[in-house]
Amino acid sequence: MSGTRRSASTERRRRSLVVSAQVGIAALVLAGWQVATGIGWMDPFFFSRPSRVLARMWEWVSTGYIWPHLAVTLWEALLAFLLGAVLGVAMGFLLARINVLADIIEPYIQMLNSIPRLILAPIFTLWFGLGVASKVAFGITIVFFIVFYSTYQGVREVDAVVLNNARMLGASERQLLRHVLIPSALSWIFSSLHTSIGMAIVGAVVGEYLGSARGMGYLIAQAQGVFDTTGMFAGMVMLALAVLVVDQLVRQLERGLLRWKPASGGAWQADAS
């Protein structure tokens, strides 16, 4: 018990140090940006100023102007994230377990993954219109491949000795999936989900930027059209903050599902939480 308490105390101190360092770096960058634009090293017309960006963000939040646009973007990103992740996990498990099917389909997946995503955005706009559907479809094409390849590799990396022992004990394919394959691949899957969150929002914003009547991409495009760099930076910062919040939710879910796994420092995940 005392070792567990010491481990938890050490983890809290480490987290406190990390947060302090992160805040310090952000403050240093913002201060340097503000000073550089104030003394003329950076042109405020092209780079704006942190004080102006924060003032614009406060204006958007206090008046409620930002919430409908942010809600649309997050809804599109959430749908793309969920659908792309489900398809990626399902296809990854399927191809990893059926080698013949993997040999047949994998070349087609490689070809589809090689298509530049920006080419697909206007095509989806033509097919599905300027609404939510085109942004979700575009986001799925980004999320799917990230999750698929991680899931596929995670399942293929499962220890063959563990699988053979489970089969010798009479485990069915369903039991192997539930008790061996899914737990072993969860780390790979969650690693891809952290990346997919940001990419899903990127997909939604790019789609809105190319054609939309609302959303964060629409706001940024409107600001760019009138050379409003303050509005552009304010929109990007709001998106970055939204990604951080969503990523923390995924991390909490990950800690709950992977409590059984030893942490890299040797302590159990339950101790670290």
- Report domain extents, the chain: 1-47, 52-265
Chain centroid to Cα 106, Å, comes to 24
* Burial annotation 120-158 (CB, 10 A radius, 16+ → b, else e): bbeebbeebebebbbbbbbbbbbbbbbbbbbbbebbeeb
| Structure confidence at residue 257 (pLDDT) | 64
| Structure confidence at residue 197 (pLDDT) | 85
| Structure confidence at residue 88 (pLDDT) | 92
| Structure confidence at residue 232 (pLDDT) | 92
Angle between the 182-210 and 229-257 helix axes, to the nearest 10 degrees? 160
Tokens of 174: 């369903």
| pLDDT tens track for 112-146 | 888 888 888 888 888 888 888 889 999 999 999 99
C-alpha 196/C-alpha 223 separation (Å) is 27
pTM of the model: 0.78
Question: What CA–CA distances, in Å, run from 253 to 161, 167, 178, 193, 226?
Answer: 29, 30, 18, 11, 42
| pLDDT tens track for 212-239 | 878 898 899 899 888 899 999 999 998 8
- Which stretches of the chain score pLDDT less than 50? 265-273
CATH topology of domain 52-265: MetI-like fold (1.10.3720)
| Structure confidence at residue 13 (pLDDT) | 83
| Structure confidence at residue 42 (pLDDT) | 85
